[in-house]
Amino acid sequence: MIGRTDQNVLPGSFLSKEQAGQVLRLPNGRNYRAGFVSLPGDTSTASSQVIFEDITEEHRESRRATLYAALVVEADEDRRRRLSREHLEEPLQLLLHLARRLESLGGSDVPSASPQALGDDRSQALEAAARLKTIARELRPKTLDDLGLVAALSGLLADVDEETDLTTEIQVVGEAVRLAPEVELGAFRIIQEAVRNTIRHARANRLYMSIVFRTNELQVTVADDGCGFTLGDLDDQMEEHLGLLSMGERAKLLGGDVQLRSEPGAGTVIEARVPLGPLTATGVYTGS
C-alpha cells in the first residue's frame, strides 16, 4: 500500500472517516474492515493511517452459519409437517371412529353396567383425540396454510384460553393481508415460542398479543403481566432460554429482529419486526 493514495486503494464511496468500521470488498475478492487512525502533526500536515483487517474468513463463516441455520429450520419444519400429516392423522381418525362406535353401543341392548363403562371409554377416546389435535396444531397448524397468520394466532390463543387460566387478548392493526409462506411461518413460530415462555415461566394472569401490518413491515408483540426477570441474567442462564435464541434466529433469517423487555415484577414484552417486500401479482407480500 506504500506510495499509493487512498483513491487508488479504496472505492470512491469509501473515502470518509465516518465510514470506518464498515466492511468493503476490494477488487481482489477479499473482505476488509477499514479503520482510520489520526496521526500526530500540526494542522497543516495532519494525516491519517488506514488500517485494513482481513475478515474474509469471518465473513464466510457468518454466511455459512446463516445458511446452515436456514437449512436446520427448513428441515425442522419438514419434519413437523410430515409428523402432523402422516403420523397423527391416522390415529386421530381411528380414535374418533372408536368414539362414535362407543356412542352407538351405549344405546344398544347391553347389560345395565355397560353403558356407564362405554361412556367413560368414549370420553377417554375423545380426550385422546383432542390431545392429538393439539399436538398436530403445534407441529403444523393447518389454519396457517389455509387462512393465514391472524387466523392461526387466533387459534393459538383459543387453545391457551381452553388449556390454561390465562386471560388472553389479541389486537390486529392495519389490513390483515396474506404474507409469503416463509414469513407467515416464521412469524407464527416466533409468537408460538413467546406464548410458550409465558405459560412455562411467567406465572402471569394476562397475555396480550398485537399484530401490526404496515406497508413494508410486520410487527408482532406478546406481552404478559407475569413475574418478569432481569435481562442481565440471560447471559448466565442462556441454556435455560434457548427459546429466546430460536426466536432471534428465526427473525434474523427473515431479515428482522426480536426485542425483549422485562423487569422483575413488571412482566415481559417480546416484540418481533420483520421487513416485507413488494406485493406479488397474487396479492401476497413477500419477505425482504
Residues in the chain: 288
Question: Is it the case that residue 266 has pLDDT exceeding 60?
Answer: yes
Rounded Cα–Cα distance for residues 132 and 126 (Å)? 10
* pLDDT of 65 above 70: no
Q: Tell me how far apart the alpha carbons of residues 212 and 174 are, in angstroms, rounded to a whole number.
A: 6
Question: 203-219 burial by CB neighbour count: b if 16+ within 10 A, else e?
Answer: ebeebbbbbebeeeebb
The neighbour count for residue 179, using CB atoms within 10 Å, is 22
pTM of the model: 0.60
**Does the domain formed by 144-288 have CATH 3.30.565.10?**
yes
**pLDDT tens readout for residues 95-147:** 777 777 767 765 555 565 566 666 677 677 777 766 666 666 666 778 888 89
Q: Which residue has the cell 401479482?
A: 281
Q: Rounded to an integer, what is the distance from CA 211 to the centroid of its chain?
A: 14
Three cell numbers at 132? Answer: 392429538
Give the residue with greater pLDDT, 40 vs 263.
263
Mean pLDDT of 16-44: 65
- Could you give phi then psi for residue 267, rounded to 5 degrees? 80, -175
Break the chain into its structural domains and give their ranges. 6-54, 57-140, 144-288
- Short-list 129, 124, 156, 127, CA closest to 140: 156
State how far the Cα of 21 lies from the Cα of 148, in Å rounded to an integer.
Answer: 41
CA distance 2 to 208: 61
Mean pLDDT of 205-227: 95
**pLDDT tens, position by position, 170-194:** 999 999 999 998 899 899 999 999 9
Are 56 and 30 in contact by the 8 Å Cβ rule? The answer is yes
